[in-house]
Amino acid sequence: MIPIPRILLADCDAMFCAVARLVDPDGAGQSPLLVVGGRRGGRGVVCSASYEARAFGVRSGMPISQAERLCPDAMFVPVPRGVCGEKSREVHAVLQDWSPIVEPASIDEFYLAMTGTEAVYRDESLAVTASRIRADVLGRTGLAVSIGGGTNRLVAKLAVERAKPSAGGPIPGVHIVPTGEEGAFLRTLDLAAIPGVGPRMVERLARYGLSRVDDALRVELPSLQAWFGTRTGQWLHTRIRGMGSDVVDSGQGEAKSVSREETFSEDLASTAELKVELLRLAVRVAHDLRSHGLVARTITVKIRDFDFRTRQASRTLAAPVDSDRAIHRVSHELFQKLRQARGAPARLLGVGLSQFGAGDAAQQLGLFAPPRSATIESPRDRQVAQLVDRINERYGRDGIVPGALADKADRADKTEG
């Protein structure tokens, strides 16, 4: 007999706000109206907002300036990036004690495969197990999670929204869709709630009088395909019926990229100044990569110009790298390419790494390894990067920095003096 799939999705409640409050209990911890993403008057975007601030219309992705107008009494703080990563790993570790397979979907979302675990939990209901998981995560990490569950990932994803603090429910923080009741649950939703149905799709659906799932369920597949195209029509037909994958794979949820970005307080027009910022970002993202024990083959540079036009360039290397020198060298080449195409003042600059492998792989030279002249990273580059990491871990992040960054810091100190 094939067991009925049982899948949970644990979603950290306003994680960035929660971490900011843990980091600064006397400041952010005392402010119900909290916006994370940048300082007041800054040019960044909202990363997260407390539920109280969301009531004023503050949403992730909107400019900090707009959030200030909507919620002028809110406290605005930067993203506590390093601590967020640490807390995400703590939550992951707790969840692994409850499920044989845990798949991180993002820094604050985790799918748990619970199929076949009924005997382990003495046939208690999935809702009771989920409630106990929530208590364990809160007790061991200090973070609250909401948990949704059902027979596939899509239903679990939709259910977790019903479990959020702003939604309420019979069991606080938990919403499980019973087997066989998926259709009835979907009928209670707006089409906008379906993952993948964005604002433009909502507008197109509205032209045909469709705003709720129940409306769309009355439309036959041929009509959906005629209105929205063969593939989109088929996709929508499937989604509104709650059909989704029931596979949870811990191997699929590993981080697929690491990146560092900087939104400038004023647009930078000087290529020389941008090169210094590029170096800073390359050094930081290279350190992030090594701290995870990884190497990367693909390097991406992103520029957002003063007029919000976003451009990027990528390069995939023949062999993976992890040293500051190699990552900066490729980043610089990509940056030069973007600046030559358009030298407009920039409001944001970013460096990203992807196509990961294990860090040890970079150290293993096989019989047919390319000669040193054919690769952009030497064993010495890696050794220097590792030595700098060890020194900076002991004396602080700025114990050893590239000369260009030290010169800029010196000039800033003299200016302030």
Would you please indicate which residues are annotated as catalytic (active-site) residues?
109
Residues 137 and 95: beta-carbon distance below 8 Å: yes
State the Cα–Cα distance between residues 192 and 283, nearest whole angstrom: 41
Q: Which two tokens stand for residue 204?
A: 């197109």
Beta bridge partners of 302: 312, 350
Instruction: Decide: 252 and 109 in contact? Cβ < 8 Å.
Output: no
Token pair of 90, please? 């703590």
Closest CA to 233 of 250, 210, 258, 256: 210
**CA–CA separation, 104 and 240 (whole Å):** 25
CB atoms within 10 A of CB 329: 16
To which H or E segment does residue 199 belong? helix 199-207
Lay out the sheet containing 257-268: strands in order across: 257-268, 346-358, 294-305, 310-321
- H-run or E-run covering 49: strand 48-49
CA torsion 147-151-154-155 (nearest 10°) is -60
Helix then strand then coil, in percent of the chain rounded to 5, is: 45, 20, 35
In contact, 296 and 353? CB cutoff 8 Å: yes
